[in-house]
Amino acid sequence: MSERYLYMNGRLVPYSEATIHVQSNAVKYGTSVFEGVRAYWSERQQELYVFRLDEHCRRLFDSLKLMRMDHELTLDEMRHSILETLRKNEYREDVHVRQTAYVAADGNVEATGPTGLAVDARPRKMAGKALDICVSSWVRIPDTAMPPRIKCSANYQNGRLAFLEAKAGGYDYTVLLNTRGKVSEAPGAAFFLVRGGVPTTPPLTADVLESITRTTLVQLFREQHGLTVAERDVDRTELYVAEEAFFCGSGWEVTPVASVDRLPLGQPAPGPLTRAIADTYFRAVRGEMPEYRGWLTPVYGRA
């Protein structure tokens, strides 16, 4: 297919036609919210599975509410927009989907609508090598300023500054502390570490996104590996003495960390728990674990 198709306000349109005005509220003030959703191809079953579709759609509703954006979107339309985009592009490979709701009005900063909906889907391979990361000098935005528990596009400038700083310093990526000096998350990814054999992640009150992948891994650790994840505040120095660490998210999947501030972790990355949870996660998202089929929405209806 020579050109990808996007969903744009109820229609499937060629990529080149999926545009909004430069004077729209979304462009001028960042008045948009989005979801990053994964779809995984199962060669054995000849099916493309969207992972936790309804949970992503519901989180987008939460973002619209917190951003006070006026809309008439329904859960059925949100689901339809993603599935139809994938079908139109006839994907037979792993795909990352970005679903964006935006204020299209050419108005002042307080404009709340009308709200448009756009969906783009493009092939994306699995996350790559173990990362050498740093602790950013930038601080994670607090809930009292710009709530990071929602996926507001403007929030991502905080992570962008941190990532560019890390790149300039010769690192692969970074993790941010919150205003209380505790570990929060990475730009666009939740963070786990392992200490004393216990998987640990900052709590939802640590100025983090309410990550669907994070929730998934907490459940898989408990049900498949017999481990209870410790959800608690994490000090910066704990990063340096951890046995393992990894990022997770729809985009990042399960990506191991090799070192923090040039200090290698206790075990070569990926460590045993990181490998174990990554293997379980990828089997679940590809439909290889029947007990988690409820997380999967088939695109072509073959499975």
What is d(CA 220, CA 224) in angstroms, rounded to the nearest whole number? Answer: 5
As given in the structure block, the two tokens for residue 255 are 């990506």
Is residue 92 one of the residues assigned to a domain?
yes
- Non-local (6+) Cβ contacts of 263 within 8 A are 240
What is d(CA 19, CA 82) in angstroms, rounded to the nearest whole number? Answer: 18
What is d(CA 162, CA 141) in angstroms, rounded to the nearest whole number? Answer: 11
Q: What are phi and psi of 104, to 5 degrees?
A: -85, -15
In which element (H, E) is residue 63 found?
helix 53-66
What is d(CA 197, CA 194) in angstroms, rounded to the nearest whole number? Answer: 6
In the predicted model, residues of the chain with pLDDT beneath 70 are 1-2, 302-303
Domain count, the chain: 2
pLDDT for residue 107: 80
pLDDT for residue 125: 86
Contact between 199 and 277 (Cβ < 8 Å): yes
Instruction: Kindly give the residue spans of alpha helices, DSSP state H, lying in 119-268.
Output: 156-168, 212-225, 236-241
Contact between 115 and 77 (Cβ < 8 Å): no
DSSP per-residue codes, 71-122:
----HHHHHHHHHHHHHHHT--S-EEEEEEEEE-----TT----EEEEEEEE
Q: Calculate ∠ Cα 246-247-253, nearest 5°.
A: 110
Q: Which of 28, 151, 167, 182 is catalytic?
A: 151
Is residue 198 one of the residues assigned to a domain?
yes
What pTM, to 2 d.p., does this model score? 0.95
Contact between 288 and 40 (Cβ < 8 Å): no
Q: Is 167 a catalytic residue?
A: no
What is d(CA 48, CA 298) in angstroms, rounded to the nearest whole number? Answer: 6
pLDDT for residue 126: 78
pLDDT for residue 2: 67
CATH of the domain at 86: 3.30.470.10
**Residue that is last in its domain, among 89, 123, 157:** 123
Are residues 104 and 149 both part of a single domain? no
Q: What is the domain extent for residue 66?
A: 5-123
Are residues 147 and 251 both part of a single domain? yes
Are residues 238 and 155 both part of a single domain? yes
Is residue 193 one of the residues assigned to a domain?
yes
Are residues 279 and 148 both part of a single domain? yes
Are residues 119 and 204 both part of a single domain? no
Are residues 12 and 92 both part of a single domain? yes
Are residues 190 and 138 both part of a single domain? yes
Are residues 107 and 147 both part of a single domain? no
Are residues 268 and 153 both part of a single domain? yes
pLDDT for residue 3: 84
What is d(CA 91, CA 4) in angstroms, rounded to the nearest whole number? Answer: 10
Are residues 183 and 276 both part of a single domain? yes
Say what angle helices 212-225 and 272-285 make with each other, to 10 degrees.
Answer: 110
What is d(CA 301, CA 133) in angstroms, rounded to the nearest whole number? Answer: 41
